[in-house]
Amino acid sequence: KQEVTQIPAALSVPEGENLVLNCSFTDSAIYNLQWFRQDPGKGLTSLLLIQSSQREQTSGRLNASLDKSSGRSTLYIAASQPGDSATYLCAVNQGNTPLVFGKGTRLSVIA
Amino acid sequence: SQTIHQWPATLVQPVGSPLSLECTVEGTSNPNLYWYRQAAGRGLQLLFYSVGIGQISSEVPQNLSASRPQDRQFILSSKKLLLSDSGFYLCAWKDRKIWGYTFGSGTRLTVV
């Protein structure tokens, strides 16, 4: 059974700092990995989707990498801003089976 | 463009009352549809998913049920709510040709 772990569970950083969020999964036979952002009391917003054949994806200040063989992904946020404060969720897809989520990393960026 | 609608946004229901949450998708056909629940301090738990009209797969045994009466409509129901049914319910869809999932804005359910 696929399990997804996110470390750390919570992170507090000063504004402007670069940071890395980690995601690991137990079964490397995935089709893709998706990073989401969730603001308090809100739904999930998709940030980046990495196909299993890809190594990384970039969108603005966000960069996500995927090392499928080792079962790891990282989300890099450059020059963090208070507006980046949210919970970041990692999820993996193994084809026709539904997404499996980690418990998330709660990020606070302090001005 | 594709959009997903989920309502209501907030719901407070007494124990033992029925429940009906609705999710509809626009701008696509024959999507995969999903219901997830997010309880306080816990991760997202898959409840049900559907690959077509009338086709429902249940992931967790509980007093909830799901139905898909139309191609782009997914309904989560309960005949009698329990306190443990409180949580944040999220509907999601996936196009069969596109890998990414899209989530609705969620329903905050409080059972009192």
Is the Cβ pair A91, B90 closer than 8 Å?
no
Give the per-residue pLDDT at B100. Answer: 84
Distance from CA of B40 to the nearest CA of A (A): 11
CB of B7 closer than 8 Å to CB of B107: yes
Distance CA B87, CA A89 (A): 18
What strands lie across the sheet with A19-25, from one edge to the other? A4-7, A19-25, A72-77, A62-67, A56-59
Q: Which of residues 33-92 of B touch A (CB under 8 A)?
A: 34, 36, 42-44, 46, 49, 51, 59, 88, 90, 92
Residues in chain B with pLDDT < 70?
61
Q: What is the distance in angstroms between the Cα of A63 and the nearest Cα belonging to chain B?
A: 17
Task: Give residue B83's identity as a one-letter amino acid code.
Answer: L
Selection from A57, A109, A48, A59 nearest residue A84 by Cα: A109
pLDDT in tens, A4-52: 999 999 999 999 999 999 999 999 999 899 999 999 989 999 999 999 8
Query: Alpha-carbon distance A18 to B53, whole Å?
Result: 46
| CB–CB contact B101 A34 (8 Å) | yes
By C-alpha distance, the chain A residue nearest B42 is: A103
User: How long is chain A?
Assistant: 111
Contact (CB, 8 A) for A47 and A59: yes
- What pLDDT digit, counting tens, does each position of B83-98 carry? 999 999 999 998 877 7
User: In this predicted structure, what is the pLDDT of residue B61?
Assistant: 64
Looking at residue A94, its amino acid is Q
Neighbours of A88 (CB within 10 A): 22
Radius of gyration of chain A, Cα coordinates, nearest whole angstrom: 13
Best of B6, B23, B38, B57 to mutate (most A CBs within 10 Å, chain A): B38
